[in-house]
Amino acid sequence: MYFLKRILFMAPLLLLISFLAFILVRVTPGGPFDRERKPASPEIERNLRAKFHLDEPMAKQYWRYLNGVLHGDFGPSLKYRNHSVTDIIVQGLPISLSLGGLAFCFALGTGIPLGFLTAVHKGAWQDYLGSFVALGVICIPGLVIGPIFVMLFAIKMHWFPVALWGSPWHAILPVLTLGLYFSGRVARLMHEGMLAILHAEFITTARSKGLSEIAVLLKHAFRIAVLPVLSYSGPMLADLLTGSFIVENLFQLPGIGVFMVNSSLNRDYTMVVGLVLLYAILLLALNLAVDFLFTMLDPRVRYE
């Protein structure tokens, strides 16, 4: 019942978000046709504006756009005029999805064990080393580590291809560049989650029942300690799946992260609103899924 209400509540929220994004890009100076080959005569620009209904009142434009969206049509891109926004997203999304999905798996696959081990060995050298590594990868941004990976492993060593997409070999450097930061974040969350739970009463109970330490840690502590990671996973996955400008730009991947930046630079109105909506839908849906998983993992969590 609670989740049904949440899903129903998403509709007005998305409406508000689309409206805000729509207004925001429209009121900023400059237009989508500013960078046309000059001199674009006033007639040409007027015809272009008329073709894309930019000469109508704002409210009417928004209404027209909303109508299109409800029918699954996000309008034509104002910059790449032979393509619709839907086309561009459909072409770019699979690449961003697979790149982001792999980076997500990498972040969880390395971050969770690292955070788990550093918490279990609290105060020992494993803790100091592991926690330092986790903080270190958070502080080395992708725009530093990406070029270094390219120079070292691709150009100097020839271990990996320099750019582009295709084979598993192509994926390794971009996934590492994208995923390392999140891996550090996950490790820190997992570390704190474990530390907070290790002194809980139900852990003491489990120990006093005579369970082996491994069973206590893995079966009882883990499922509660992983909850902070879980709640971070929603926004993290939304960020990862909608592409990263730096990684896509550096490795020349045709994902949608590049479009996210370029469309707002080019005032490609329809494209911006389409991408904002895509991000918002992903984020809201993922947060909902996270809250649902919470109830599965932690029996104490109840939503009414």
Q: What residue ranges bind another protein (CB under 8 A)?
A: 13, 16-17, 20-21, 24-25, 28-30, 135-136, 138-141, 143-148, 150-151, 155-156, 162, 242, 245-246, 250, 260-261, 264-265, 272, 275-276, 279-280, 283-284
In angstroms, what is the minimal distance from the CB of 175 to another protein? 19
Q: How many CB atoms lie within 10 A of CB 21?
A: 20
In angstroms, what is the minimal distance from the CB of 235 to another protein? 8
- By C-beta, is 93 or 215 nearer to another protein? 93
In angstroms, what is the minimal distance from the CB of 155 to another protein? 5
- By C-beta, is 84 or 244 nearer to another protein? 244
In angstroms, what is the minimal distance from the CB of 50 to another protein? 24
The b-or-e profile of 45-82 (16+ CB within 10 A means b, else e) is: eeebbeebebeeeeeebbeebeebbeeeebbbbbbbee
Q: Which tokens hold the place of 275?
A: 């991408």
In angstroms, what is the minimal distance from the CB of 88 to another protein? 16
Q: Are 84 and 77 in contact (CB under 8 A)?
A: yes
Closest listed residue to residue 10, CA positions, set 233, 243, 301, 291: 291
Distance separating alpha carbons of residues 191 and 180, to the nearest angstrom: 16
In angstroms, what is the minimal distance from the CB of 150 to another protein? 6
- Give Cα 93 to chain centroid, integer Å: 12
- By C-beta, is 71 or 199 nearer to another protein? 199
Angle between helices 168-197 and 85-120 (to 10 degrees): 50
Q: Are 180 and 137 in contact (CB under 8 A)?
A: yes
- By C-beta, is 20 or 297 nearer to another protein? 20
- By C-beta, is 23 or 50 nearer to another protein? 23
- By C-beta, is 242 or 270 nearer to another protein? 242
